[in-house]
A and B are shown apart, each in its own frame.
Chain A
Amino acid sequence: MTNFKAVGSRLLQLALVLWAVVTILFLMFRLMPGNPMAAYIDPTFTLEQQQQLMAQFGLDKPLWQQYLIYLGNLLQGELGQSFRYREPVGERIWTLLPNTLVLTFSSLIIAYAFGILAGAYLAWRRGSFIEQAAIPAVLTTRAMPEFWLGMVLLAIFSFSLGWFPAGGTRAPGAEYSGFLDLYTSRDFLSHLILPAATLAIYSQGLPLLLMRSNMLDVMKEDFVTMARIKGLSNWTVVVRHAARNALLPVMTSFAIAVGYQLQGNVVVESVFSWPGLGRELVNAVAASDYPLAQGAFLMIALVVILMNLLADLLYAVLDPRVSHA
Chain B
Amino acid sequence: MPEIAAPAIIKPRRPNILARMFRTLRLPVNDPFAVAGLLIYLVFIATAVFADQITTHDPTEILYTPSYDLAADLRPGQDGFIMGTTSLGRDIFSQLVYGSRSALLIGVTAAFMVALIGSIIGLVAGYFGRLVDAVLMRLADIAFGIPFLPFVIVLAAFLQPSIWNVVIAMALVLWRDTARVIRSQVLTLRTRGYVEAARVAGSSDFKIIVRHIAPNILPLSFLYGSIAIGWAILTEASISFLGFGDPDSISWGYMLQDAFASQALAKQAYYWFVPPGICIILVVSAGFFITRGYENILFPKLNR
- Interface residues of chain A, those whose CB is within 8 Å of chain B, are 13, 16-18, 20-21, 24, 28, 32-34, 135-136, 139-140, 142-149, 151-152, 154-155, 158-160, 166, 205-206, 209-210, 212-213, 249, 252-253, 256, 259, 262-264, 266-267, 270-271, 278, 281-282, 285-286, 293, 296-297, 300-301, 304-305, 308
Contacts and interface: CB of A to CB of B under 8 A. Distances in A.
When A and B form their complex, which 8 residue pairs have the shortest distance between CB atoms, in order from nearest? A209-B295, A143-B284, A143-B285, A148-B277, A32-B158, A17-B145, A263-B149, A20-B142
Max count, chain A CB within 10 A of own CB: residue among B148, B154, B243: B154
Residue among B138, B243, B268, B299 with max Cβ neighbours from chain A (10 Å): B299
Interface string B126-137: 000000000000
13 contacts: A17-B141, A33-B159, A144-B281, A145-B253, A147-B256, A155-B264, A205-B298, A249-B302, A256-B302, A264-B149, A266-B153, A285-B154, A297-B154
Contacts of A297: 147, 150-151, 154
B241 A267 contact: yes
Interface residues of B, number: 54
A258 to B, nearest CB: 12
Nearest to B144: A308
Interface of B: 33, 138, 141-142, 144-151, 153-155, 157-159, 230, 234, 237-238, 241-244, 253, 256, 259-260, 264-266, 268, 270, 273-274, 276-277, 280-281, 284-285, 287-289, 293-296, 298-299, 301-302
Given A209-B294, A267-B241, A285-B153, A148 B280 contact: yes
Contacts of A151: 256, 259-260, 265, 273, 277
Contacts of B260: 151, 271
Contacts of B146: 21, 24, 301, 304
Contact of B149 (A249, A266, A271): A266
Contact of B273 (A24, A155, A282, A301): A155
Given A140-B281, A147-B238, A305 B158 contact: no
Contacts of A148: 237, 256, 273, 276-277, 280
B158 A301 contact: no
Given A155-B265, A263-B150, A33 B158 contact: yes
A299 to B, nearest CB: 10
B295 A210 contact: yes
Contact of B242 (A209, A266, A305): A266
Given A145-B238, A151-B256, A308-B144, A267 B293 contact: no
Contacts of B149: 263-264, 266-267
Nearest to A286: B243
B243 A18 contact: no
A159 B158 contact: no
Nearest to B296: A213
Nearest to A209: B295
A34 B157 CA distance: 11
